[in-house]
Amino acid sequence: MLDIDHVNAYYSDSHVLHDVSLHVEKGQVTTLLGRNGAGKTTTLLTIMGYLAPRDGRVSYEGQDISGMAPHRISHLGIGFVPQERGVFPSLTVEENLTVAARPGRTHRWSLATIYELFPRLQERRNNLGFQLSGGEQQMVSIARALMLNPSLILLDEPSEGLAPLIVQEIVNIVALLKAEGLGILLIEQNLGVALELSDTHYILDKGAVCFTGTSDALRNNEKILGAHLSV
């Protein structure tokens, strides 16, 4: 579904991504792991067109999207949930959702189905963005990406700063989306969450991939866990 092949990306003269390659399959969760500053968020921004690769190729369903404008990439069927959540503070929950609504190819997600998945958002549908808790804002951010009816969704640290009960709720939602056939690229600092959800893990170190493997392979690799994830 998504192929990143030998991508190099720069911020001005600073070389940030070094020959990064990774792949995301339909109906699977692929996780990007690594310390802060390793290049994880930069990888998502490069996929979404906010940062054009200087070398290499980003392909979505066989189409080269390298450097394409973010809105065009979104229209192809890629949803993005940023780390900052990006909830509009002066809009209600329902307005935050409908402002991004688009039928897409799956036609799976509407207000009705979103409220089935996130009953708390239905309860809070008339509340403004700034009146929501951190967990509720994260739900809005994920739900708004789903309202695009994407085939692939990029999640940047969705469990960050959330209470354990809310984290488990987010985990359950991601597992459901995986079961429905979405491709998911996940950045996650919570190793337990990553190991529970993901089929394949890529670890970045200083902008380069230093490990690729399954949850079992990562769980049993004490050297990698200690060197790159402080476990």
- How far CA 108 is from CA of 14, 16, 26, 33, in Å, comes to 41, 37, 16, 30
H-helix or E-strand spanning residue 224 = helix 222-228
Asked if residues 93 and 129 have their Cβ atoms less than 8 Å apart, the reply is yes
Angle at CA of residue 159, ends 24 and 215, nearest 5°? 45
Residue ranges per domain, the chain?
2-228
Asked if residues 135 and 164 have their Cβ atoms less than 8 Å apart, the reply is no
Q: State the pLDDT at residue 106.
A: 60
The secondary structure of residue 86, as a DSSP letter, is -
Task: Flag whether pLDDT at 222 surpasses 90.
Answer: no
Instruction: Output the six-digit token pair for 111.
Output: 């207000």
Task: Flag whether pLDDT at 228 surpasses 90.
Answer: no
Q: State the pLDDT at residue 105.
A: 60
Among candidates 17, 28, 23, which has minimal Cα distance to 151? 28
Q: How confident is the model at residue 204 (pLDDT cuts 50, 70, 90)?
A: very high
Rounded Cα distance between 206 and 209, Å, is 9
- For 44-66, what is the mean pLDDT? 95
Question: What SS3 state is found at 160?
Answer: coil
Q: State the pLDDT at residue 224.
A: 86
What homologous superfamily is domain 2-228 in, according to CATH?
A: P-loop containing nucleotide triphosphate hydrolases (3.40.50.300)
Rounded Cα distance between 19 and 91, Å, is 41
- Name the residue with higher pLDDT: 40 or 220: 40
Q: State the pLDDT at residue 225.
A: 85
Among candidates 218, 202, 222, which has minimal Cα distance to 21? 202
Q: Specify the residue for token string 């935050």.
A: 96
Instruction: Output the six-digit token pair for 221.
Output: 């690799």
**What is the four-CA torsion angle of 207, 18, 228, 156, rounded to 10 degrees?**
40
Task: Flag whether pLDDT at 133 surpasses 90.
Answer: yes
| pTM score, whole prediction | 0.91
Task: Flag whether pLDDT at 197 surpasses 70.
Answer: yes
Q: State the pLDDT at residue 141.
A: 96
Q: State the pLDDT at residue 104.
A: 57
Tens of pLDDT, residue by residue over 59-110, are: 999 999 998 999 999 999 999 999 889 999 999 999 999 988 876 566 689 9
